[in-house]
Structure 1
Amino acid sequence: MSTTSTARYDSHADWFIDYSSDWRSAATDYLPEDLSDQRVLDLACGFGQLSRPLADRGATVVGVDLAGQLIDRARQQESEEPRGVSYHVGSATATDWWDGTAFDGVVCNMALMDIDDLDAALATVRSVLRPGGWFTATLFHPCYPGDPQDPTSLPSWPPDRGYDAEGWWTTGQSGVRGHVGAHHRKLSSYLNAVLAAGLQPTRFDERSTALPTLFVITATRS
Structure 2
Amino acid sequence: MTARYDHVAAEYDEWVGAGSALDDPTFSELIGDVTGEQVCVVACGQGREARFLATRGAAVTGVDLSVKLLEKAGEHERSTRLGITYRHGDAHTLAGLADDSFDGVVCYMALMDIPNLDGAVRSIARVLRPGGWYAATITHPCFKTPACGDLVDHVDQSVRRTVGQYFAEGYWDGPGAHRNALPVGAYHRTLSTYVNTLTSAGLTIDQLRESPQDNPPVWREVAQLLYIRGSSRQEPRGARGGDE
Report the TM-score range of the alignment, normalised by the length of the smaller protein.
0.7 to 0.9
CA gap 1:18/1:156 in 2 versus in 1, 3 angstroms: farther
- Residue 116 of structure 1 corresponds to 115
SS at match of 2:149: coil
Shift of 1:15: 1.9
- Residue 165 of structure 1 corresponds to 168
CA contact (8 A) 2:208 2:229 kept: yes
Q: Which letter does structure 2 place at the counterpart of 1:139?
A: I
Shift of 1:19: 2.3
Q: Which letter does structure 1 place at the counterpart of 2:14?
A: D
- Residue 142 of structure 2 corresponds to 143
CA contact (8 A) 2:175 2:186 kept: no
Q: Does 1:198 align with 2:198?
A: no
- Residue 216 of structure 1 corresponds to 227
Q: Partners in 2 of 1:177 and 1:43 — Cα distance?
A: 25
SS at match of 2:14: helix
Q: Does 1:24 align with 2:22?
A: yes
SS at match of 1:125: helix
Q: Partners in 2 of 1:101 and 1:221 — Cα distance?
A: 10
CA contact (8 A) 2:100 2:126 kept: no
SS at match of 1:119: helix
Shift of 1:174: 4.8
Shift of 1:6: 5.3
Shift of 1:156: 10
RMSD over aligned Cα atoms: 2.5
Q: Which letter does structure 2 place at the counterpart of 1:24?
A: L
- Residue 7 of structure 2 corresponds to 11
CA gap 1:88/1:141 in 2 versus in 1, 3 angstroms: same
TM-score, length basis structure 2: 0.78
Shift of 1:172: 9.7
- Residue 239 of structure 2 corresponds to none
Q: Which letter does structure 2 place at the counterpart of 1:186?
A: T
CA contact (8 A) 2:99 2:129 kept: no
Aligned length: 209
Shift of 1:53: 1.2
Q: Which letter does structure 1 place at the counterpart of 2:28?
A: T
- Residue 82 of structure 1 corresponds to 81
Q: Partners in 2 of 1:128 and 1:71 — Cα distance?
A: 21
Q: Which runs of 4+ in 1 moved over 6 A?
A: none
Matches within 5 A, 1:29-48: 29-32=29-32, 34-48=33-47
Q: Partners in 1 of 2:39 and 2:54 — Cα distance?
A: 9
TM-score, length basis structure 1: 0.85
Shift of 1:200: 1.0
**Higher Rg:** 2
CA gap 1:61/1:43 in 2 versus in 1, 3 angstroms: same
Give deviations 1:23-71, integer Å, cap 9, x for gaps: 8364334211x32220000111111111011011111000000011111
CA gap 1:214/1:70 in 2 versus in 1, 3 angstroms: same
